[in-house]
Structure 1
Amino acid sequence: MLSSWSTSLNLVFFSLTWTTVAMNYSPLQLEFFAPLMLRTVLYLLPSTLFLLFDLGVPSLAVELKSQGDAALPARQKGGAGKIRAVVGWSCFNVLLAVAVQAGVEWLVTDVLRMRSLLLIKGSAWTLNHLPNPWSLFKHAAIGLASRNILQYYIHNHILHSPNGGTLANWHQTWHHSIYVPYSFVAAYDHPVCYLIHRFLPLYLTAITFRFHIMTYLLLVGLFSLEETFTYSGYNVLPSTIMLRGMARRNDAHMMSKGKGNYGPFGVLDWAHGTTLGGDVMDDLHKEMDKHNVDDRSAKTIDAAGEAATGLVGKLKGKSAKSRGK
């Protein structure tokens, strides 16, 4: 009973706080400062701490790195100068994405006098500035799925395509100049490639479905933590959402110069046969073993995997027949 009351009070105080913030700040201010704070606190600051740890205590850091001594930033090609370039451009790209979002909001609301692209302010009569739970869950699921789908196809068919032209060349010479990743490498890319690959997949989805800004910020925070951990190079990671498998696939992607593992979660890599090393199904089995999930659930996942594989094969067969005709 006490726990229920505590949760309810926390929600009430959070609702009042957010309502006050939404009433006192413009959509432009919220769309600039809120993402900037999240990206700073959940990506830039942890990445800085990880880098200082790698540089300051290399003898201890190497024991936590999946790729050992080769994963230490100071041991990689370019030395201190390359590290400064990676950190500088990563910070610039993060700030650029926030500035682009704020610029679009300024153009839409202040210049064109249209409503904000994200839902920020609720009804003036009810002061309801928070999304309802169903909308938050639905839009979060859409954002999660759409972001991963768009990132996979952009990464595979543009940034690593023989026909990718200038964008593919920029991505290869910038991002893939690093052999083994550390957290800042997630945002180290040519600014245009960074916006296309990292910023637009979530932002375009959010404005298309007009997410509530709280839902958008929730996803920004989640993806910031994902990038921080999965690019860290460490083998000691939280087990939630199969972060270790995601980190392992990122390592393989970087070390192969981009020959596979194009999606964050690995689902589309598994479906299209572009996985390097263990795939997402292996990660699911490891997670189930870790949490003592029974054999029935394991068989269910295997059956689902086989069904999905068969469906992908049929689609490929139909596509080949249509091309033949």
Structure 2
Amino acid sequence: MTLETFLSSHNPLLLEYTLTHLIQLTFFYLPSLIYISLPYFIPSTLSHRLQSPSKYPTPPEIKHCLKVVLRNQLLASTFHALLVFIHYKFDLPPDYRFGPLPSVAEVLRDITLCIILREILFYYTHRILHTPSLYKSIHKPHHKFTSPIALAAQYAHPLEHITANILPLSIPPVLLKVHVITWWIFLAGELVETTAVHSGFDFMGWARMHDLHHELFRGNYGTVGLMDWIHGTGITSTKEKEKVG
């Protein structure tokens, strides 16, 4: 059975719901487990840790983090199920295309556009969450881990998880009406990226920018640095702490 035949032989709504969750579980928890296990199985990776070991979360804190993440994922799953029900109840078309498979060029184009749109949506949402009133009431829990771990990528207030984690990620593919395969590739890549930048390790230059945000509580509000460059809120070292708000 070809991939195209597989897609056309299943209910699009149920298929998208099921495989989206499978991808979320695989590409969030597998990297998270790897990063948490690195110091125990490959001690040499400690040289890539960004902050002092004394700041690393304790086992009870990691357990608490996991509980909050599971709660947020249950919330997201329920929200997703509600959307599927609405589509089914009112006979709405799927949010993604399920026709012929997209070309490599189309996939690369759509993923690039999705990354840019997500950067814009996340930057402004994240920046708003750092205003004093919203920071105290909503965003502060996410900064509990000043030296973050991969699991902490989804450690957040439920409202923040919906508005800052889920919507900036899911809106761009829906707006662009990308193929469902493109959506799954984009989702997997973004999950790998967010676990990497919250991992506390930096192997390829990905994590330093967001790790600094957790360490300093300001600056580096975006995901790829584009909007921080435009607004002058990028930070590359702790010496720049006072330069941005």
Q: TM-score band, normalised by the shorter chain? A: 0.7 to 0.9
1:221 Cα deviation from its structure 2 partner: 0.7
Q: Distance in 2 between matches of 1:83 and 1:133?
A: 39
Amino acid across the alignment from 1:70 = S
Which residue identity is paired with 1:263? Answer: G
Q: What SS class does the counterpart of residue 234 from structure 1 fall into?
A: coil
Alignment size in residue pairs: 237
Report Cα offsets for 1:81-122 as digits up to 9, x if no partner.
Answer: 3221111222332343344234212211x10012112212x2
> CA separation of 1:185/1:208 partners in 2, compared to 1, >3 Å: closer, same or farther?
same
CA contact (8 A) 2:119 2:222 kept: yes
Percent of paired sites with the same residue: 26
Pairing partner for 1:117 from 91, 95, 112? 95
Matched with 1:305 is: none
- Separation in 2, partners of 1:277, 1:225: 22
Q: For the residues of structure 2 that align with 1:167 and 1:234, how far apart are their CA atoms?
A: 26
1:74-223 alignment, distance < 5 Å: 74=58, 80-108=59-87, 110-120=88-98, 122=99, 128=100, 130-156=101-127, 158-162=128-132, 165-166=133-134, 169-172=137-140, 174-223=141-190
- The code of the aligned residue for 1:64 comes to H
Residues 274-302 of structure 1 deviation map (CA, whole Å, 9 limit, x = unaligned): 11225xxxxxxxxxxxxxxxxxxxxxxxx
Runs of 4+ residues deviating >4 angstroms: 56-61
Task: Give the distance between the partners of 1:38 and 1:71, measured in 2 at CA.
Answer: 31
Following TM superposition, by how much is the alpha carbon of 1:206 offset from its aligned partner in structure 2, in angstroms? Answer: 1.6
- Distance (whole Å) between structure 1 residues aligned to residue 17 and residue 119 of structure 2: 24
Asked if the contact 1:31/1:105 (under 8 Å) is kept, the reply is no
Q: Answer whether contact 1:42 1:225 (CA < 8 A) is retained.
A: yes
Shift of 1:72: 2.5
Q: Counterpart amino acid of 1:87?
A: L
Q: Return the offset for 1:146.
A: 0.1
Question: What is the TM-score when the length of structure 2 is the normalising length?
Answer: 0.87
> What SS class does the counterpart of residue 73 from structure 1 fall into?
coil
Residue 243 of structure 2 corresponds to which residue in structure 1? none
Larger Rg: 1
Q: Distance in 1 between matches of 2:134 and 2:215?
A: 22
CA distance in 2, matches of 1:98, 1:29: 13
Taking a change above 3 Å as real, the CA distance of residues 254 and 115 of structure 1, as seen in their structure-2 partners, is same
Shift of residue 153, structure 1, vs aligned partner: 0.8
* Two-structure CA RMSD over aligned residues (Å): 2.2
Does the C-alpha gap of structure 1 residues 198 and 260 become closer, same or farther in structure 2, counting only changes over 3 Å? same
Structure 2 residue 195 is the aligned partner of structure 1 residue 228: yes
TM-score of the two chains, using structure 1 as the length reference: 0.67
Higher RCO (CA-CA < 8 Å; seq separation 6+): 2
The question of whether the paired residues in 1 share the 8 Å contact of 2:148 and 2:211 is answered with yes
Contact 1:62/1:71, CA 8 A, preserved across alignment: no
Q: Distance in 1 between matches of 2:155 and 2:84?
A: 25
Aligned partner of 1:274 in structure 2 is 233
* Structure 1 unaligned blocks of 5 or more: 1-15, 75-79, 123-127, 279-325
Which ranges in structure 2 are unaligned for 5 or more consecutive residues?
Answer: 238-245
Q: Deviations over 1:201-246 (max 9, x none)?
A: 12112222211111111110110110121111113x2x3xxxx1x4
Partners of 1:211 and 1:229 in 2: CA distance: 25
Out of 10, 15, 20, the residue aligned to residue 25 of structure 1 is 10
